Amino acid sequence: MNRKTIVLAVILALVGMTSLSAMGLGVAAGLPLGNGLPGNNVMLSLKLDNTPLLFGIGAQIGSNFTSIGVTADYWITNESLAAPLNFYLGVGGYLGLSLGNSTTLSLGARIPVGLNIFILRSLELFVEVAPALGVGFSDPVQFPQVGVQGAFGFRVWF
């Protein structure tokens, strides 16, 4: 089996397993600052009913290059700044895997800080920045990898 088939199967399995119990589902796009989002600059944003984590899952599959990115964040607080605008702060982690001429695995921690607003009862718009610290496993190993991941997008809550 080739690399693309394996990557696509893993992503479809993750999305398939989680979509049945999803509370929130949306799309996040990377901001043009810092490092964007790991793996791909567009991610599926997913909040499951049975976990306090908010996930981001993205992939880019091409003929010579494949990348996968995953984030998992726990929100410590989500408070109102001035109705209807909210502020959130969390801790989380990320994983990025790039396969091409060389293979790179990036793994690290992030601190998402964001603003969100519910324009409808079940529709959330958000923008966030997440300072990140990690390690890149390639040749040579890169530590520390310091950067900023940023995104904006929407989520629909069920």
Tens digits of pLDDT across the chain (158 residues): 566 666 556 655 555 554 545 589 999 988 877 777 777 778 999 988 888 999 999 888 888 888 899 999 999 999 999 989 999 999 999 999 988 888 889 999 999 999 999 999 899 999 999 999 999 998 899 999 999 999 999 999 98
pTM of the entire structure? 0.82
Domain boundaries, the chain: 3-157
| pLDDT, tens digit, 9 for 90 and up, residues 100-110 | 888 889 999 99
CATH of 3-157, one of 3.40.50, 3.30.70, 2.60.40, 2.40.160: 2.40.160
CA–CA dist 72, 93 (Å, integer): 5
pLDDT in tens, 112-133: 999 999 999 899 999 999 999 9
